[in-house]
A and B are shown apart, each in its own frame.
Chain A
């Protein structure tokens, strides 16, 4: 029993589609997320990440396809399911009329959590997100990083099993980002399931067990970061500036023309370097998810679709 229950995916979507009138935002997305894992949904702006998350949260209707949460099909009144999920939305929707502490207390009431429980959880959450001294502050007085942390604390008020985070660190400075990463790793250690979107490859590589690459409303590939790198860009990237050196024979090499230079992918850098003239200059580095993305979509992750 235990084993079977543990293997039920927390989220399971099949051929999920969303149309907003004429806009086909999500065009048949399928994936499954196992309990206790952190999965990253990676894609440029407009890829359909937020829409996918909103469908999972029941914040927008599913146009077509199948969706299961904790093995159950969520209905409009799936209150039991909603209590088990926390959402960190892409845009700040903290309650500006309330203080930091009140934001958590009031949110706890929306979950039907009794006042005594909320009173116990709020200081712990403020502590956890390093907001303890800011409890009485107005939301307006918080920096962008603190607001983000408060939104994460708020998503945890019901002690959810699944936390969905839509770009939790976009626009934050590196320190603020690192702090949030630590907390997310803590949550993972606690056994929570995380689904997050990000534009930052480093974030995905640090946090995610699995990565789903999505563009134009479709899943392009998924796997562990290493699997994706091995599958699409081998281990090494050699960047050779244009014009390419005379006498350089590219035949048989995996290449990607990025305009003013060409990227070559190889499991052994010598595959490329031995073909290059002795005096040719090139850049050599380990392949990363950014390369995978570039390879799969033809554009970089940050620049948008």
Chain B
């Protein structure tokens, strides 16, 4: 098969998996939309009034402009992580949906690409809800930057989804996801600069923070939406790290699932 035909086929079959998830989600769309918009609103209300009053300026910008991009990244990270772990594991292990799909022409790589791209879609969707809230409430002063931030957030969501699949590929029971949230999601929530600058932490926490993809993502999204200066080479470095981690994580997850399912 010529290379381009393979790529098109990969798209078609992983797209079928992606569409299956969209179909199921459509029934839950309104509650999902509501919570995705309400959650950041409640957050902003509380933090805006609470912390915003105390912290006037953070990192050279008003607190709202600082925290809203952080929340965009957080929303993308949380939704993509949840979907690629808890939800994917349910389809894999509880409902045997994967077994049914693998008996069709869909390959494991395509199945995983479908699941990963769906988790990333949910992550990007959640981030968009925060963007909408930010546009209403305030916190996104630079509109063209938001447009640039969208693909960046999507890349971040791909990375978080791929990392989630690594956990799912290793999961024998649901217990592993407790560790995943404690040692992966929560640190990215608190140490990656969502609510405070990373530089406030002692050096060893900063070292950990820079290993996390979230820190790199926020470092790009925040200057974009705030309209601050951003060195394109530095931005490329951050995005390169996120992309490399996504590829490495997906490859590892593919290897693990392959061993697990076929050996």
Q: Which residues of A are at the interface with B, using a C-beta cutoff of 8 A?
A: 20, 57, 59-61, 76-77, 79, 82-83, 87, 89, 91-98, 102, 106-107, 109-112, 158
Contact = CB atoms under 8 A, between A and B. Distances in A.
15 contacts: A59-B103, A59-B262, A60-B262, A60-B263, A89-B103, A93-B95, A93-B100, A94-B100, A95-B20, A95-B95, A106-B20, A111-B104, A111-B105, A112-B105, A158-B104
A91 B93 CA distance: 13
Contacts of B97: 93, 95
Contacts of B102: 59
B13 interface: yes
A106 B96 contact: no
**Which 4 residue pairs spanning A and B have beta carbons closest together?**
A93-B96, A110-B104, A109-B16, A93-B100
A95 B107 CA distance: 18
Interface size class of B (residues with CB under 8 A): 20 to 34
A107 B100 CA distance: 9
Contacts of B99: 59, 89, 93
B178 interface: no
Given A102-B23, A106-B23, A111-B105, A95 B9 contact: no
B106 interface: yes
Contacts of A158: 104
Interface string B250-263: 00000000000111
A61 B23 contact: no
A98 B23 contact: yes
Interface string B86-122: 0000000001110111111111000000000000000
A16 to B, nearest CB: 15
Given A89-B100, A106-B16, 17 more contacts: A59-B262, A61-B262, A82-B103, A91-B96, A92-B96, A93-B96, A95-B20, A95-B97, A106-B23, A107-B104, A110-B13, A110-B16, A110-B101, A111-B105, A112-B12, A112-B16, A158-B104
Contact of A77 (B107, B261, B263): B107
Contacts of A76: 107
Contacts of A110: 13, 16-17, 101, 104-106
B245 to A, nearest CB: 26
A46 B37 CA distance: 52
Given A95-B20, A102-B23, A112-B12, A79 B96 contact: no
Contacts of B101: 110
Contacts of A59: 99, 102-103, 261-262
B53 interface: no
B171 to A, nearest CB: 18
Contacts of B42: none
B170 interface: no
B20 to A, nearest CB: 5
Contacts of B19: 106, 109
Contacts of B261: 59-60
